Amino acid sequence: MTIRVGLIGAGNIGTSHARDLELRVAGSEISVIYDFDEVRAAELASELEARAVPSYQEVIDADDVDAVLIASPDHFHAEQALACLAAGKPTLCEKPLAPTEDDAHAVLDAEVALGKQLIMMGFMRRFDPGYVELKGQLGVEGIGDPLIIRNSHRNEIAPYGLDSELSITNAAIHEIDINRWLTDDEYAWVEVITGRNGPLTPQGQHDPLFLLLKTRAGTIVDVEMYVQAQLGYEVTCAVTGGTGVAEMADGSYVTTARALHRGHRLPKQWLGRFQDAYRLQLQGWITHLETGSSIPGASAWDGFVDAVVATRAVESLRSGERVPVVLPEKPALYV
Ligand code: ISE
């Protein structure tokens, strides 16, 4: 059985997903593609022997599309996810579910009203071998309960131009999600601290940003976001547990030590660092569609909670205050 996937958005990540689905994931192919740039859509369609269509709705409605992959710019995700739910098509939606709580809530409400989980969120770090190993170290058999988790997320240059709020809703949202997943916990509050800017930070913006969060069980989580760091793309996560420490530097790279120097090369951006996570996530999604097993990654509920926390973090960035995180009760559909 081959799952025929329709792609909405043929930019960097959409193109990478499409090639993975066509070439490296078992049981899938790309059948229909939409991009606002018609030439780009047509080129990818001809490379993958798919067809390009002039609107995203035509991707969703196509008879030869069994499932939809949303890889458009962030502010289109909610509208397109709602259209997929209305058509009853399973969907892998790139993160975030929406840049704001209200838009994310609308998608959650629509899926709950449908009574069926059709949306999986593209929080691919949940499939990354480094993070999976880190999570495996937690608990009584490993380093105990997580007490403090320290994260850093650095880009060579801001991928979409520097905007401090986008650093939270587009980028730090990965840490918001992965630390919920690592701890199996929700946050009680978030505070965003700004300080001395880097040499490339434009007037009126803040970079780096420091996010401080505490979970309901009391785990302290911090995130250094530095999106104009120049050094390359680097993501790290270090957990201090009750009885030990587990750290993930850039696990996928070989470390060398010579001439009084220890180090490893850095990728330019995330497609290199997380290529296995993206492929494993896609394979997990396709296998779930083929077998009817439960969603193997982040759900619409996760996408909603992450958007709530990001919205509170943006409020903290604006006000300079610590902001409580309050969530509605988890709908039975996700328990
Ligand atoms: C980008 O949108 C991503 O999703 C990457 O994984 C992230 O590391 C990067 O900072 C974001 O801008």
Record the pTM.
0.95
C-beta 155 within 6 A of ligand 1: yes
- The CA 162 to ligand 1 mean position distance, Å, reads 13
Which residue has the least CA distance to atom 12 on ligand 1? 171
> Quick one: pLDDT at residue 249?
81
Q: Which domains does the chain have, with CATH numbers?
A: 3-125+276-299 (3.40.50.720), 128-270+307-324 (3.30.360.10)
pLDDT digits (tens, 9 = 90+) for 169-202: 999 999 999 999 999 999 999 999 999 999 999 9
* Distance set, CA 239 to CA 68, 171, 260 (Å): 36, 20, 27
Q: Is-contact 208 224, C-beta < 8 A?
A: yes
Q: What is the pLDDT of residue 180?
A: 98
For position 254, what pLDDT does the model report? Answer: 61
Atom of ligand 1 nearest to the CA of 227: 10
For residue 250, is pLDDT > 90? Answer: no
Ligand 1 near 81 CB (within 6 A): no
Measured from the Cα of 233, ligand 1's closest atom is 8
* 252 has pLDDT over 70: no
Ligand 1 contact, 174 CB (< 6 A): yes
Q: For residue range 103-130, what is the model confidence (pLDDT) as tens digits?
A: 999 999 999 999 999 999 999 999 999 9
DSSP-based three-state secondary structure for 247: strand
**281-321 pLDDT, tens per residue?**
999 999 999 999 999 999 999 999 999 999 999 999 999 99
Please report the DSSP string for 270-309 in residue order: HHHHTHHHHHHHHHHHHHHHHH-PPP-SEEHHHHHHHHHH
DSSP string, 43-98: HHHHHHT-EE-SSHHHHHH-TT-SEEEE-S-GGGHHHHHHHHHHHT--EEEESPS-
Q: Is the CB of 137 under 6 A from ligand 1?
A: no
Which residue, judged by its Cα, is nearest atom 11 of ligand 1?
Answer: 171
Using the Cα atoms of residue 276, residue 161, residue 157 and residue 148 in order, give the sign of their dihedral. Answer: negative
Contact 35, 57 (CB under 8 A): no
Instruction: Quote the ligand 1 centre to 266 CA distance (angstroms).
Output: 15
Binned at pLDDT 50, 70 and 90, residue 253 comes out as low
